[in-house]
Amino acid sequence: MITNLFYFLSFVAVLSALMVVFSRNPVYSVLYLIITFFAIAGHYVLMQAEFLAVVHVIVYAGAIMVLFLYVIMLLNLNRESEPHKSNILKFAAAICSGLLLVVLVGSLRGTELLKHSEAGEVSSTMGGVKNLGKVLFTDFLFPFEIASVLLLAAMVGVVMLAKAEKKTNL
């Protein structure tokens, strides 16, 4: 049952991820990306990480993708106004994404598959809010705080950029 669900979700995730790249209409791309995020949230649920799944849906599908869709609808991109990139840019993009693929494969090659005995130890409360909170504020306190400072810096930066633009307009 769970294996079948896994294959189904993986199929949906991969297919819609491909459709993100191949669809001509940017609005369709965003909608396929939303489906991809839901499939990934389904994977989190399969791994007993309900909190992560729900936060994933709230943040990615519920907030970030809404803003993506918002911007794309405002720009109203269609085939006539589609920006045409030069061949050099396309070439550079292909090389960059190829390099990213190499990095990802390289980093994932070193990891070992979780052994079945270890996988059995994952309890149902593993991904729960209480456990996650405890782990975040004890073992991973430093990275957690660093991430929060990073987010704060990004927020302040955005506010500063918006303010500066306003001054030049006046």
Partner 1 sequence: MISFLIYKAILVGVVFGITLFIAAYSTYAERKVAAFLQDRIGPDRAGPFGILQPLADGLKFIMKEEIIPNVSNKILFVLGPSIAMLTALMAGVVIPWGSTLVINGETYSLQIVDLNIGILYVFAVVSIGVYGIMIGGWASNNKFSLLGAIRASAQMISYEIAMGLSIIALIMMTGTLSLREITELQTGAVGSSWNFWNVVYQPVGFLIFLVCAFAECNRTPFDLPECETELVGGYHTEYSSMKLGFYLFAEYINMFISSAVISTLYFGGYNFPFMNDLGMDQNIITIIGTIGLFIKIGFFIFFFMWIRWTIPRFRYDQLMNLGWKILIPLAIINIFITGLFGIL
Q: By the criterion CB under 8 A, which residues form the site for partner 1? A: 27, 31, 34, 50-51, 54-55, 57-58, 61-63, 66-67, 69-70, 73-74, 128-129
Shortest gap between Cβ of 34 and partner 1 (angstroms)?
7
Q: Is the distance from CB of 36 to CB of 20 less than 8 angstroms?
A: yes
Shortest gap between Cβ of 147 and partner 1 (angstroms)?
18
Q: Is the distance from CB of 15 to CB of 38 less than 8 angstroms?
A: no
Shortest gap between Cβ of 129 and partner 1 (angstroms)?
6
Kindly report the number of other CB atoms within 10 A of residue 41's CB atom.
23
Q: Is the distance from CB of 60 to CB of 136 less than 8 angstroms?
A: no
- Quick one: 19 or 27, whose CB is closer to partner 1? 27
- Quick one: 25 or 97, whose CB is closer to partner 1? 25
Q: Find the angle CA(152)-CA(156)-CA(160) to the nearest 5 degrees.
A: 170
106 sits in the region (left: phi over 0; alpha: psi -120 to 50; else beta) called: alpha
- Quick one: 15 or 55, whose CB is closer to partner 1? 55
- Quick one: 63 or 93, whose CB is closer to partner 1? 63
